[in-house]
Structure 1
Amino acid sequence: MSKSILITGCSTGIGLYCAKTLHNSGYKVIASVRNPKHLEQFTELNIPCVLLDLSDERSIQEGFEQALQLCDGQLDVLFNNGAYGQPGAVEDLPTNVLRQQFEVNFFGWHTLTRLAISHMRTIGQGRIVQNSSVLGLVALPYRGAYNASKFALEGLTDTLRMELADTDIQISLIEPGPILSEFRKNARQAFETHIDITASHHSAEYQAQLTRLKAQTAPQKFTLGPEAVYDKLLHAIEAPKAKPRYYVTFPTYLMGYLKRVLSSRWLDKLLLKNR
């Protein structure tokens, strides 16, 4: 019997790639998207897809119930992936904008995870995989909202893993680093919508951030394709004992190591130099 998996954030990037590849490998995939206009591509791919807006609790509940129906009442894996980045200096972030970041990247994931755990307890097993970030390990300037949401996710997931240690529900974090996707495009839109760029004390630095976000090619070294995340996801799904954490790109391995060996001041200096 093939395993069933619900994946959030499947419109583009990592979610879309993993949904298609797992489907082609024989998994019973249920994709989810926030925007109805993105449903059509999954009809063409013959992959079931539900509407699920991570900022709306009712949408999460309804999407999860539809996903259960589509997988005949047994969901084996949840891959929490849908998220976005809100750039901007902390002093320029309106509190409601920070709250929106957490609604999608943290609270929505929590709501969906609780639903999945309740179901997985009834079937006696399951896997929950959280797609975090290298920015859940270290912070970078002008990414405070995203940093905070991923730091919170890491702490909550570590706690959850320990609380479920005596069950057959396994919990894993994936920490990708730079991956080819539309993340920068969406971040740029959020940046220009919610941050008063020209009036800020950080306006000169913001221009550099906009240049980075507008780049047509990946501005970071060591950028990998979404297949690199898929490889880690597959292990988290199939291994008899999934790893608590999966680093993906070189920057993630490096930052994980440096955070252990450097003082906060030295790590700050390094990150400011290479931002």
Structure 2
Amino acid sequence: MTKTVLITGSSTGIGYYCAKALVERGYKVVASCRKQADVERLQQQGIHSVVIDLADEASIENGYCQALEILGHIDVLFNNGAYGQPGAVEDLPTDALRKQFETNLFGWHHLTCLAIKHMRERGHGRIIQNSSVLGLVTLPYRGAYNASKFALEGLTDTLRQELSDTKIQVSLIEPGPIESKFRDNALAAFFSANIDAENSPHHENYLKQQARLEVKGKAQPFTLGPQAVYKKLLHAIEAKRAKPRYYVTFPTYLFGYLKRILSTRLMDSILTKSR
């Protein structure tokens, strides 16, 4: 029987690449996007697509129902849609933090709960969450994103424990730098109305962040293409026993190791210099 997969955040980057690759492998896929124009573009490419705005529960429920109608059943949910709200913690309006969590955590939770109910009825399924190295360690000026991914990791670990007596497997994928439009979206969020960069005590560092985000191509060492995530996603889908965690890129392996052996003060020193 052909496996079915619902992917969120599929307009570009990781979600788009994985949707195309899974279709080519023979999977039946619904790739969701936030904007109708992107849905239509994917449909023109022969990829089933629906609108899911993760910051809107009605959109999540409507998109999920459409996906279920297209697929017939859902074997795999790959939660991927997210964005990064940069800014120093002291400069973040609470509403900006709230919006970050709405898309990166609460929307995922709502969709996941819908999928779990369906998977329980069918007796099996897989939930795969695309987290980040910033769910393992923190970096300055990524506080909102760090917080959302740390929360996602805690919620996902708990979910995995609670579903341990079922045939629903839960996995986290934790990429470091991956080629995508994530930096472009972060740049737009950085200099939106959310952050008063001009009057911030962090103004000079914001300019450095702006320069980093404006670099085209591989702005960071060890950046990999989205195929690196796809490789781990495929294992999480097809392995008889999926791993709880999948590291992607050298920085994730490195920081995951250093976090286990170094003191908090030393890790702070290293990570602060990495900004």
1:238, 1:186 → 2: CA distance?
32
1:199 aligns with 2:204: no
Deviations 1:233-269 (A, max 9, x none): 0000000000000001000000100111011100001
Residue of structure 2 equivalent to 1:225: 225
Give 3-state SS (helix, strand or coil) of 1:223's partner.
Answer: coil
2:104, 2:131 → 1: CA distance?
9
1:166, 1:108 → 2: CA distance?
25
1:84 aligns with 2:71: no
1:152, 1:48 → 2: CA distance?
31
Instruction: Give the TM-score taking structure 2 as reference length.
Output: 0.99
Q: In structure 2, what residue type is equivalent to 1:10?
A: S
1:185, 1:64 → 2: CA distance?
28
**What's the CA shift for 1:274?**
2.1
Residue-pair matches, total: 274
Residue of structure 2 equivalent to 1:265: 265
1:257, 1:39 → 2: CA distance?
40
Residue of structure 2 equivalent to 1:129: 128
Instruction: Give the TM-score taking structure 1 as reference length.
Output: 0.99
Residue of structure 1 equivalent to 2:74: 75
1:4, 1:244 → 2: CA distance?
21
2:107, 2:246 → 1: CA distance?
22
- Pairwise CA RMSD: 0.6
After TM superposition, the runs of 4+ consecutive aligned structure 1 residues lying more than 3 A away are none
Residue of structure 1 equivalent to 2:255: 255
Deviations 1:146-194 (A, max 9, x none): 0000000000000000000000000000001000000000000011112
1:112 aligns with 2:111: yes
**What's the CA shift for 1:136?**
0.1
Give 3-state SS (helix, strand or coil) of 2:191's partner.
Answer: helix
Give 3-state SS (helix, strand or coil) of 2:197's partner.
Answer: coil
Q: In structure 2, what residue type is equivalent to 1:22?
A: L
Alpha carbons 2:173, 2:233 under 8 Å: kept = yes
Q: In structure 1, what residue type is equivalent to 2:242?
A: A
Which region of structure 1 is more displaced relative to structure 2, 146-155 or 189-198?
A: 189-198
Q: List aligned pairs for 1:96-107, cutoff 5 A.
A: 96-107=95-106
Which region of structure 1 is more displaced relative to structure 2, 190-199 or 174-183?
A: 190-199
1:171, 1:81 → 2: CA distance?
14
2:53, 2:106 → 1: CA distance?
12
Give 3-state SS (helix, strand or coil) of 2:160's partner.
Answer: helix
Residue of structure 2 equivalent to 1:57: 57
1:184, 1:211 → 2: CA distance?
11
Gaps of 5+ in 1: none
Give 3-state SS (helix, strand or coil) of 1:39's partner.
Answer: helix
Deviations 1:74-122 (A, max 9, x none): 1000000000000000000000000000000000000000000000000
Residue of structure 2 equivalent to 1:160: 159
Give 3-state SS (helix, strand or coil) of 2:207's partner.
Answer: helix
**What's the CA shift for 1:40?**
2.1
Residue of structure 1 equivalent to 2:211: 211
Residue of structure 2 equivalent to 1:173: 172
1:168, 1:39 → 2: CA distance?
32
2:208, 2:218 → 1: CA distance?
15
